[in-house]
Amino acid sequence: MKSLYLLRENLRISFQSIRSNILRTTLTILIIAIGILALVGTLTAIDAIKASISSEFTRMGANTFTIQSRGIRVRIGGKRIRTKNHSHITYQQAKRFKEEFEFPARVSISVFASYNSTVKYESIKTNPNIRIEGVDENYIHTAGYDIARGRNMTVTEVHGSSNVVLIGSKLAKTLFGDKKNHINEVVAIGNGKYKVVGILVEKGSSMGGRADDICLLPLTNVRQYFARPQMSYKLNVQPNDPKMLSICISEAEGIFRVIRKLHISDETDFNLNKSDNLASMMIENIQYVTVAATVVAIITLFGAAIGLMNIMLVSVSERTREIGTRKAIGATSKIIKQQFLFESIIIGQLGGIIGIIFGIIVGNLVSVSIGSQFIIPWVWILGGVVLCLIVSLLSGLLPAIKASKLDPIIALRYE
């Protein structure tokens, strides 16, 4: 009971001392708050960016992988050089894989037709920057597209080389403007006329892409009207169970090696790329920003610790007579040390609370600006509290020891 009373009394004296030196205390609290704000705010913003990247790549086709040619082209100066001449993936190979792959998964075949086509509707003509791809009936599912209006192309239309097209939302706005019913309108692509059967849901221009300036034609139609030598086809595979992705990749590699007639000792001459590989690479690079932000915050907190220690040492000097009086009436060195440590901890935690609140606000302003969800970084909040506790303990320890060791007789004589 007595120890509880002494603890309460020490807390009261600590708050009283903080109020009596309000200007210096406020400045120190602000320094600590800025350090915690830098830490919590930056890391909250980074968490929001990570969530946005993961969400974006999920919309681009989550839990899928692609099989495509390993032919790599690089540009040096004005020259384009093929670094290794792996053979392209033929239509027959892609078709055979789709037929023979019995793993519970959805498989689609696609082929690039053009990146610089123009599309016409009546008197309206687009810039020559429309991407044309030949796809099958499964493509929009494995590539992360959805139908906003209309329907997907059917198996019959894919096999029958029908003149139908799915178009991106931005292209639809360019061609049709405010016209509400775009379905069954006829557009000109190259020398052919195509009926619009579906409008794709907007994906946005994230990652520098043009996912909404696109025309998806039946695969067989592209083979017929956009044919070129050595067209290389791409396979998208999406397992029914996302947890089976790794097993599905291994199974697909084994089957496609057989289709490519590779010997057991031959190197795999095609790429298998998971849809989240790029997202993982970007998130990994963001870790460097996290480290930099943490270092900046720690340096700021180190400065705050020096400021807090200075305040506490000045406080000891200014309150020497008070310390002597308390010791003369029975206060022990332990109680005096406890009082100054309490003051230091209170200042540190006040700075931490202010920094955490503003850090969450700043971080989520970034989150809102990029269209991500509201984030409460519990890990960084706990980390901020612990950091402030460590800073305040280290800053207050030396002044507290100094105060506790004062001789009461000398302290009473101090002016």
- pLDDT tens for the 415 residues of the chain, in order: 556 766 677 677 777 777 777 887 888 788 888 878 877 887 888 878 777 766 665 555 557 889 988 764 444 444 444 444 467 899 999 999 999 999 999 999 999 998 889 999 988 999 888 999 999 999 998 888 889 999 999 999 999 999 999 999 989 999 988 777 889 999 999 889 999 999 998 876 544 456 788 999 999 999 998 988 888 999 999 898 877 888 999 999 999 999 998 888 888 888 888 765 555 666 666 777 777 777 777 777 777 777 777 777 777 777 777 777 777 777 777 777 887 788 888 888 888 899 889 888 888 888 787 767 778 878 878 888 888 888 788 887 887 787 777 766 665 555 5
Q: Of 6, 25, 17, 26, which is closest to residue 338 (Cα–Cα)?
A: 6
Q: Of 376, 401, 411, 382, which is closest to residue 36 (Cα–Cα)?
A: 382
Query: 270 has which bridge partners?
Result: 69
pLDDT of residue 77: 45
Query: 322 has which bridge partners?
Result: none
Give residue 288's domain range. 2-57+281-413
Give burial (CB, 10 Å; 0-12/13-18/19+) of 202: middle
Q: Are residues 393 and 295 in the same domain?
A: yes
Tokens of residue 183, six digits:
């379905």
Q: Are residues 99 and 177 in the same domain?
A: yes
pLDDT of residue 84: 47
Q: Are residues 78 and 36 in the same domain?
A: no
Q: Are residues 126 and 253 in the same domain?
A: yes
- How many domains, in total, are found in the chain? 2
Q: Are residues 397 and 264 in the same domain?
A: no
Q: Are residues 122 and 190 in the same domain?
A: yes
Q: Of 196, 219, 113, which is closest to residue 148 (Cα–Cα)?
A: 196
Q: Which of 274, 301, 327 is the C-terminal boundary of a domain? A: 274
Q: Which of 251, 274, 297 is the C-terminal boundary of a domain? A: 274
361-to-42, 326, 356, 376, 383 alpha-carbon distances in Å: 11, 44, 9, 10, 17
Q: Are residues 42 and 128 in the same domain?
A: no
pLDDT of residue 55: 62
Q: Are residues 178 and 323 in the same domain?
A: no
Distance CA 75, CA 88 (A): 20
Q: Are residues 129 and 20 in the same domain?
A: no
Distance CA 358, CA 338 (A): 30
pTM given for the model: 0.56
Tell me, letter by letter, the H, E, C secondary structure of the chain. CHHHHHHHHHHHHHHHHHHHCHHHHHHHHHHHHHHHHHHHHHHHHHHHHHHHHHHHHHHCCCCCEEEEECCEEEEECCEEEEEECCCCCCHHHHHHHHHHCCCCEEEEEEEEEEEEECEEECCEECCCCEEEEEECCCHHHHCCCCEEEECCCCHHHHHCCCCEEEECHHHHHHHHCCCCCCCCCEEEECCEEEEEEEEECCCCCHHHCCCCCEEEEEHHHHHHHCCCCCCCEEEEEEECCHHHHHHHHHHHHHHHHHHCCCCCCCCCCEEEEECCHHHHHHHHHHHHHHHHHHHHHHHHHHHHHHHHHHHHHHHHHHCHHHHHHHHHCCCCHHHHHHHHHHHHHHHHHHHHHHHHHHHHHHHHHHHHHCCCCCCCCHHHHHHHHHHHHHHHHHHHHHHHHHHHCCCHHHHHHCC
Distance CA 286, CA 191 (A): 46
Q: Which of 274, 290, 305 is the C-terminal boundary of a domain? A: 274
pLDDT of residue 409: 63
Give burial (CB, 10 Å; 0-12/13-18/19+) of 378: exposed
Q: Are residues 339 and 401 in the same domain?
A: yes
Q: Are residues 267 and 125 in the same domain?
A: yes
Q: Are residues 108 and 251 in the same domain?
A: yes
